[in-house]
Structure 1
Amino acid sequence: MCELLGMSANTPTDICFSFSGLMQRGGRTGPHCDGWGVAFYEGGGVRCFHDPQPCHSSAIAQLIESYPIKSENVICHIRQANVGRVGLANTHPFSRELWGQYWTFAHNGQMRTFAPGHGPFQPVGSTDSEAVFCDLLNRLRARFEQRPPLEELMDCVTAVCAEYARQGVCNLLISNGDWLFTLCTSKLAWITRRAPFGPAQLSDVELVVDFQEHTTSDDVVTVIATEPLTSNETWHLYAPGEWRVWQGGEILLQGRLPACEPLVS
Structure 2
Amino acid sequence: MSELLGLSFDSVTAPVISLRGAASRKESSTADSKRSGWGFGWYPGSELAGQILKNPTAGADDPAARALKDWNRFGSTLFLGHFLGSAAHRTQSDSQPFLRNFSGRAWIIAHSGALREDFRQNLPLGDKPGFEPVGRTDTEHVFCWLLNRMHAAGTRNFGDYGWDRLAADLRAVNELGSLNLMLTDGQSLVVYQDREVVQPIYWSRRLPHHENTPLGNDVLGLDLEPHQSNRTFVIFATTPLSSEAWVRMAGGQLLVARRGQIYWDSLNVWDRGDSLQQQTVQRAATGDTDIVALFPPARRPDTRPAHSAAPVAPVRVPRAPLSARDWPLHWSKKKDATATEHPHRFLSVLHETVYSYERPVEASQHVLRLQPVQDSTQTLEDYDLRISVDGQVHRYEDVFGNHSIELIVSQPFTEFAVCAKSRVRINYEEALDARIPHAREQIPLVWMPWQRQMMSAYLLPPELPETHLTELLDFAMSFADRNEYSLREMLTDMNRTIYRDFKYLPGATTLETTPYEVFDSHQGVCQDFANLLICMARLMNIPARYRVGYVDTHATADNPIQSEASHAWAELYLPGAGWVGFDPTNGTLVGQEHVRVACGRNYRDATPTTGTLFKGGGGETLDITVKVEPGESDG
Alpha-carbon distance in structure 1 between the residues aligned to 2:219 and 2:136: 33
Q: Which residue of 1 aligns with 2:401?
A: none
Q: Which residue of 1 aligns with 2:24?
A: 28
Post-superposition shift, 1:242?
1.1
Q: Which residue of 1 aligns with 2:8?
A: 8
Alpha-carbon distance in structure 2 between the residues aligned to 1:78 and 1:207: 12
Post-superposition shift, 1:239?
1.1
Alpha-carbon distance in structure 2 between the residues aligned to 1:165 and 1:105: 15
Aligned pairs (5 A) from 1:1-265: 1-16=1-16, 19-20=17-18, 23-26=19-22, 28-29=24-25, 31=33, 33-42=35-44, 43-68=47-72, 69-81=74-86, 85-113=89-117, 114-115=119-120, 116-118=123-125, 119-142=129-152, 144-147=153-156, 150=159, 152-185=161-194, 186=197, 187-200=200-213, 201-204=215-218, 213-217=226-230, 219-231=231-243, 233-256=244-267
Q: Deviations over 1:40-69 (max 9, x none)?
A: 112121121111223223221111133252
Q: Quickly say closer, same or farther: Cα 1:162–1:2, change in 2 above 3 A.
A: same
Alpha-carbon distance in structure 2 between the residues aligned to 1:32 and 1:165: 27
- Structure 2 unmatched runs, 5+: 26-31, 269-635
Q: Secondary structure at the match of 2:162?
A: helix
Q: Secondary structure at the match of 1:10?
A: strand
Structure 2: which amino acid aligns with 1:64?
L
- Structure 1 unmatched runs, 5+: 258-265
Q: Deviations over 1:240-265 (max 9, x none)?
A: 111111011101111149xxxxxxxx
Q: Deviations over 1:5-50 (max 9, x none)?
A: 111001111232xx32xx2224634647342211111212112111
Aligned length: 248
TM-score (structure 2 length as normaliser): 0.37
Alpha-carbon distance in structure 2 between the residues aligned to 1:106 and 1:241: 17
Q: Deviations over 1:79-110 (max 9, x none)?
A: 4327x851111111101112211100000100
Conservation of the 8 A alpha-carbon contact between 2:150 and 2:156: no
Q: Deviations over 1:162-216 (max 9, x none)?
A: 111111111111111111111111211111111243133533389795x693435
Q: Quickly say closer, same or farther: Cα 1:53–1:85, change in 2 above 3 A.
A: closer
Over 6 Å off, 4+ runs: 205-208
Comparing 170-179 with 186-195, greater Cα deviation is found at 186-195
**Identity of counterpart residues, as a percentage?**
27
* Cα RMSD for the two superposed structures: 2.6
Alpha-carbon distance in structure 2 between the residues aligned to 1:148 and 1:44: 11
Q: Deviations over 1:128-171 (max 9, x none)?
A: 111111111112211x2232671742222111101111111111
Structure 1: which amino acid aligns with 2:187?
D
Structure 2: which amino acid aligns with 1:80?
G
Conservation of the 8 A alpha-carbon contact between 1:107 and 1:172: yes
Structure 1: which amino acid aligns with 2:43?
Y
Alpha-carbon distance in structure 2 between the residues aligned to 1:134 and 1:52: 21
TM-score (structure 1 length as normaliser): 0.84
Which has the higher relative contact order, 1 or 2, with Cα contacts under 8 A spaced 6 or more apart? 1
Conservation of the 8 A alpha-carbon contact between 2:21 and 2:84: no
Conservation of the 8 A alpha-carbon contact between 2:8 and 2:235: yes
Conservation of the 8 A alpha-carbon contact between 1:34 and 1:86: no
Q: Which residue of 1 aligns with 2:284?
A: none
Alpha-carbon distance in structure 2 between the residues aligned to 1:86 and 1:208: 26
CA radius of gyration, larger in: 2
Post-superposition shift, 1:74?
0.7
